[in-house]
Structure 1
Amino acid sequence: MRERGREVAVIPEFARPLVDQITAAQIYPAWTLAPAEWVVVHALIKRSGDDMLAGAAVQAAQRARNGVAHARYFLRAWQALPPAPAPGTIPAAAPTGPARASNVVPFPSAAGTGRVAQSADYLAQALADMEAQQ
Structure 2
Amino acid sequence: MSEGVNARDVRVAVVPEFARPVVDRITAAKVYPAWTLTPAEWLVVHALIKRSGPDMLAAAAVQAAQRARNGVAHARYFLRAWQALPPAPEPGTIPAAAPTAPARGSNVVPFPAAAERPGRAAQAADWYADLLAEEQ
Post-superposition, which runs of at least 4 consecutive aligned residues in structure 1 deviate over 4 A? 97-100
For 1:42, the equivalent position in structure 2 comes to 46
SS of residue paired to 1:75? helix
Check 1:27–1:106 CA distance in 2 against 1; reply closer, same or farther (3 A cut).
same
SS of residue paired to 2:56? helix
> For residue 61 of structure 1, what is the amino acid of its counterpart?
A
Identity of aligned residues (%): 79
- For the pair 1:95 / 2:99, whether they are aligned, the reply is yes
> When the two structures are aligned, how many residues end up with a matched partner?
107
For 1:126, the equivalent position in structure 2 comes to none
For 2:61, the equivalent position in structure 1 comes to 57
Are 2:22 and 2:57, in contact at CA under 8 Å, matched by a contact in 1? yes
For 1:10, the equivalent position in structure 2 comes to 14
Check 1:45–1:84 CA distance in 2 against 1; reply closer, same or farther (3 A cut).
same
Are 2:26 and 2:62, in contact at CA under 8 Å, matched by a contact in 1? yes
Match of 2:70 among 66, 73, 82: 66
State the 1:91 CA deviation. Answer: 0.7
Match of 1:32 among 25, 32, 36: 36
TM-score of the superposed pair, with normalisation by structure 1: 0.71
TM-score of the superposed pair, with normalisation by structure 2: 0.70
Check 1:97–1:12 CA distance in 2 against 1; reply closer, same or farther (3 A cut).
same
Check 1:113–1:64 CA distance in 2 against 1; reply closer, same or farther (3 A cut).
closer
| Residue segments in structure 1 that go unaligned for 5+ positions in a row | 1-6, 115-134
